[in-house]
């Protein structure tokens, strides 16, 4: 894993569905900026300030995105926030993953799929509270797809990037802040039973869409991560 934005190494661009290699490279750089703004920027992590992130999208999609980012609990599948009272170590989160470009569903669309793991290292006042390394490091895997609309067939307000779908999985975290608020906090804040281990992720939990009616929100079960339903496509 690399530190911060440097850990997000872009693939070699190639022409895709009417987009030149240079245009694909530009799109990849824009998506990288979105990942930095949503998962690594202190303004987002510490305050939930999504202004820089929202401005990277097409004008017609910004209002919807702002609405999503005002929801409670916080939509962790879209962006990362740290729970109040917790603080990260003064080091950049570690990042590792992949990005690929492919044709969109319609002419003039380019889809960028991303799959990244972000590791957030937390500070602790009393080191004895951490019984294993993962008590201090929360891991978040985000699978996010973006679609770029380009060309005369699109209204000016629609030209640019749109969310195409997202899903996330979090482990080695405190269950309460994630379950109740969608926020990350270190696993040592949870009381757990059993011997410590350097190899196992500490017990966590999972949030999943309601099985019969996703509109009713997310259900909690005592497992090891968080999944969120897909968010709006263009």
Q: How far apart are CA 41 and CA 8, in angstroms?
A: 14
* pLDDT at residue 2 in the model: 75
E runs forming strands in 7-156: 94-103, 109-121, 137-149
The counts of H helices and E strands in the chain are: 5, 7
CB atoms within 10 A of CB 82: 22
Predicted pLDDT at 228? 32
Domain extents in the chain: 2-190+201-221
Cβ proximity of 142 and 8 under 8 Å? no
- Long-range contact pairs involving 33-38 (C-beta distance under 8 Å, separation at least 24): 34/146, 34/161, 35/8, 35/114, 35/116, 35/142, 35/144, 36/4, 36/5, 36/8, 38/78, 38/79, 38/80
Give the pLDDT score at 191. Answer: 57
pLDDT the model gives residue 51: 97
Q: Name beta bridge partners: 119.
A: 94, 139
In SS3 terms, 180-206 reads as HHCCECEHHHCCCCCCCCCCCCCCCCE
Q: Which residues of 121-156 are buried (b: 16+ CB within 10 A; e: fewer)?
A: bbebeeeeebbbebbbbbbbbbebbbbbbbeeebee
Distance between CA atoms of residues 108 and 147, nearest Å: 10
For the chain, 234 residues long, give each residue's pLDDT as a single digit of tens. Answer: 777 767 677 999 999 999 999 999 999 999 999 999 999 999 999 999 999 999 999 999 999 999 999 999 999 999 999 999 999 999 999 999 999 999 999 999 999 999 999 999 999 999 999 989 899 999 999 999 999 999 999 999 999 999 999 999 999 999 999 999 999 999 999 855 454 454 444 444 444 443 444 333 333 333 333 333 333 333
């Amino acid at each position: 894993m690399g530190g911060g934005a440097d850990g997000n190494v872009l693939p070699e661009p190639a022409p895709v569905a009417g987009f030149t290699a240079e245009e694909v490279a530009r799109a990849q750089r824009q998506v990288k900026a979105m990942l930095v703004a949503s998962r690594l920027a202190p303004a987002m992590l510490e305050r939930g300030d999504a202004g820089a992130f929202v401005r990277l999208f097409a004008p017609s999609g910004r209002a919807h995105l702002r609405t999503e980012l005002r929801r409670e609990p916080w939509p962790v599948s879209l962006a990362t926030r740290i729970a109040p009272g917790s603080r990260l170590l003064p080091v950049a989160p570690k990042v590792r993953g992949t990005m690929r470009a492919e044709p969109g569903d319609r002419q003039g669309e380019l889809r960028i799929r991303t799959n990244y793991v972000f590791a957030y290292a937390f500070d602790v006042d009393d080191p004895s509270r951490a019984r294993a390394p993962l008590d201090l490091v929360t891991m978040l895997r985000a699978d996010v797809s973006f679609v770029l609309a380009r060309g005369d067939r699109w209204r000016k307000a629609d030209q640019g990037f749109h969310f195409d779908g997202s899903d996330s999985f979090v482990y080695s975290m405190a269950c309460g802040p994630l379950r109740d608020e969608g926020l990350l906090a270190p696993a040592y804040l949870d009381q757990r039973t059993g011997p410590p281990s350097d190899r196992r992720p500490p017990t966590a939990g999972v949030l999943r869409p309601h099985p019969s009616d996703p509109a009713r929100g997310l259900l909690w079960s005592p497992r090891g991560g968080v999944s969120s339903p897909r968010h709006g496509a263009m």
